[in-house]
Structure 1
């Protein structure tokens, strides 16, 4: 009996297992498109890096949405931080929010580092999470305090650089990918890639306060 292909993969030469594996390699590990091509070739799968790129663009967002629906609810302590990235020779800011276990809640690429940009991040977080946190932890950037008063007036806000290592450490995989990709080509590309990359990373991130068995059960 002929196996029925999922309509999502209709008109594709390779089966879903190959496509999903290639997309997973690209978003999970610090590999360039050509490196993914070489890893597939080592398994006897001859796919060009251009094809891998098209698969990543077509299927990455869908995979990220599936993971996002399965991720356990965010904890009540959120860490916010921003890092500078260069896109086309122009400075941009990557705003990031994680909970106290390092699970990435959301990211937002913006051209500015001001109160308006901070408000956009907080509003996006509230829309996706459906609730405000108990505590918001940031560095001493004044824009966070302004945005918090406008968007989350009842939330406790702690501003101290030493308390925000969780968010700052979360930037490190992004820096590695930025080097592998020889910097992002556009703000849209950075937003798309990192939105998928962070969700895939969440799937494999085990909070320090639970053991492996509990982690498997939470994803069952």
Structure 2
């Protein structure tokens, strides 16, 4: 009997089992993440291109493929800077307010996003643990508002970082929140906690991609960089 090892089958594509080709799915996801469009807007744009796709299907594509794209791109992501600006904003999920923890560095790269039902030390701890584990980078300075939970959490998780609290010092992240709020406005609300996590995280991924924080699409012109990056990521997933 032969003992020669059998070749491993190639991993199944994330697009296996879908009726529409990957190119159509990726165009729909990219349009929704990149532009201030509702799912029905994207549906109409696809119909103009000869593809009849229900807006509910587009919603499901965005929910499924946005995390896959961000995960595939993480190996091409630039290391963030050492100054982190951290703050929370609010989104309404099925009529109930949720807290969105976000951070940007001094170069405008969005560090991470976490949606939480509560604004407390446990939520802040989860946010920092996620960011530190995913990025393998420890900041030397963290700028926050005057929320009382931050000193304790930062002393526990990043004791070497200087915690900076000063009026107007956190303007970079507060200004960045407005971009997310503008994007969410056309969606007319979020229905589930899962959607509330995927969409802000997808917005951050697209924002970082457009700002050049990934080694993706750099051979293309600035106007086509995002589309080129999505083509590369389509092949990766």
TM above 0.5, yes or no, is: yes
Runs of 4+ off more than 3 Å: none
- Picking from 31, 42, 55, the partner of 2:37 is 31
User: Residue deviations 1:90-148, cap 9 Å, x none?
Assistant: 22210001111111110111122222221221111111111310111111212111211
**Which residue does 1:134 correspond to in 2?**
140
Conservation of the 8 A alpha-carbon contact between 1:23 and 1:60: yes
Cα distance in 2 between the residues matched to 1:13 and 1:91 = 36
Does residue 57 (structure 1) correspond to residue 63 (structure 2)? The answer is yes
Unaligned runs of 5+ in 2: 1-11, 223-228, 233-237
The count of corresponding residues between Structure 1 and Structure 2 is: 208
Partner in structure 2 of residue 46 of structure 1: 52
Give the TM-score taking structure 1 as reference length: 0.86
Please report the RMSD computed on the Cα atoms of aligned residues, expressed in angstroms: 2.3
- Match of 1:171, SS? helix
Q: Deviations over 1:162-211 (max 9, x none)?
A: 1111111111222123321211112221012222221122100258xxxx
Mapping of 1:154-193 within 5 angstroms? 154-193=160-199
Residues 128 and 28 of structure 1, relative CA distance in 2, 3 Å threshold: same
2:76 is the counterpart of 1:96: no
Gaps of 5+ in 1: 1-5
SS in structure 2 of the partner of residue 162 of structure 1: coil
- TM-score normalised by length of structure 2: 0.80
Deviates most, 186-195 or 104-113: 186-195
User: Do the aligned partners of 1:138 and 1:159 also contact (CA within 8 Å) in 2?
Assistant: yes
What is the CA-CA distance between 1:150 and the residue it aligns to?
1.4
